[in-house]
Amino acid sequence: MMDSPLTAPVVFTAGPVPVTLPVVTSWALMAAMTAVAALATWRLRVERPGRLQTVVELLVQTLLHQIGETMQGNATPFLPLLGTLFLYLAVANLSGLLPGVKAPTAFIETAAALALIVLLASQAFGIRARGLGPYLKGFAKPSPLLLPLNLLSELTRAFSLSVRLFGNVMSGEFVIGIVLTLAGLFVPVPLMALEALLGLVQAYIFTVLATVFIGGAVGTIEKG
């Protein structure tokens, strides 16, 4: 019987605080990503950069260009958050293909936490760009009567982000698990390749939507 994605298994407790499986997996993934980043940025060279440095520079430039085009403005202030978000999502989604590893994004608590980060970041960037007063007044446009709906819209967008990510990643792992149980080891390989592609696509979509939300908050994109 498969574990429910709505209930994350508890690995251990830190005092009264239970530490669940997606949290432990996320820590392991972040540690691995930190090690790779340290290795990639060790002894950076201006002339004749190594292969790993070249790949990293290409990735950073691609992310910077994509964020700038989506946001219709200077992407540099938002690259640390959005670039890290994309890389984490890509690695987390693909981690579910490893034997014995369940992607942390296949649990609702991880998807909800990421969506909450985007929600809080968009408010922080919006206030920093516009000022507290003008930013808060923006929720009362075009009419003060729409203030409750505009506030609710911010929450529903974050909710839709989390549900979309959780649902797509969880359903992919669920399908592969069923096929693996029924058909054996090698038959699901094409499905796993498709799942890897979909995991990258989901990371891209989540990051683009986060970029749009932040762009709407800072005023470079018209809110829809």
Where residue 18 falls among pLDDT bands split at 50, 70, 90? confident
For 168, the token pair is: 């797509």
8 A C-beta contact, residue 86 and residue 204: yes
- Which of the residue ranges 9-18, 19-28, 169-178 would you say has the lowest mean pLDDT? 169-178
pLDDT of residue 173: 67
- Judge whether 106 lies within some domain: yes
Where residue 118 falls among pLDDT bands split at 50, 70, 90? very high
User: Could you give the percent of the chain with pLDDT greater than 70?
Assistant: 87
pLDDT at 171 over 50: yes
- Judge whether 121 lies within some domain: yes
pLDDT at 124 over 80: yes
Tell me how far apart the terminal alpha carbons of the chain are, to the nearest angstrom: 43
- Judge whether 97 lies within some domain: yes
Residues in contact with 154: Cβ distance below 8 Å, sequence separation at least 6, in sequence order? 119, 122, 123
Where residue 121 falls among pLDDT bands split at 50, 70, 90? very high
- Judge whether 223 lies within some domain: no
User: Could you give the percent of the chain with pLDDT greater than 90?
Assistant: 29
- Judge whether 1 lies within some domain: no
Instruction: Report the number of distinct structural domains present in the chain.
Output: 1
- Judge whether 191 lies within some domain: yes
- What number of CA atoms fall less than 13 Å from residue 165's CA on the CB side? 35
pLDDT in tens, 182-193: 665 555 567 677
142-151 average pLDDT score: 81
Max mean pLDDT range (14-18, 55-59, 201-205): 201-205
pLDDT of residue 204: 92
pLDDT in tens, 215-224: 888 877 666 5
| pTM given for the model | 0.84
Q: H helices within the chain, ranges in order?
A: 21-40, 51-71, 79-95, 108-130, 132-137, 147-183, 189-218
Structural domain including 93 reads: 10-218
pLDDT of residue 80: 92
33-55 average pLDDT score: 80
d(CA 30, CA 28): 5
71-88 average pLDDT score: 91
124-153 average pLDDT score: 85
Where residue 145 falls among pLDDT bands split at 50, 70, 90? confident
- Judge whether 4 lies within some domain: no
- Judge whether 224 lies within some domain: no
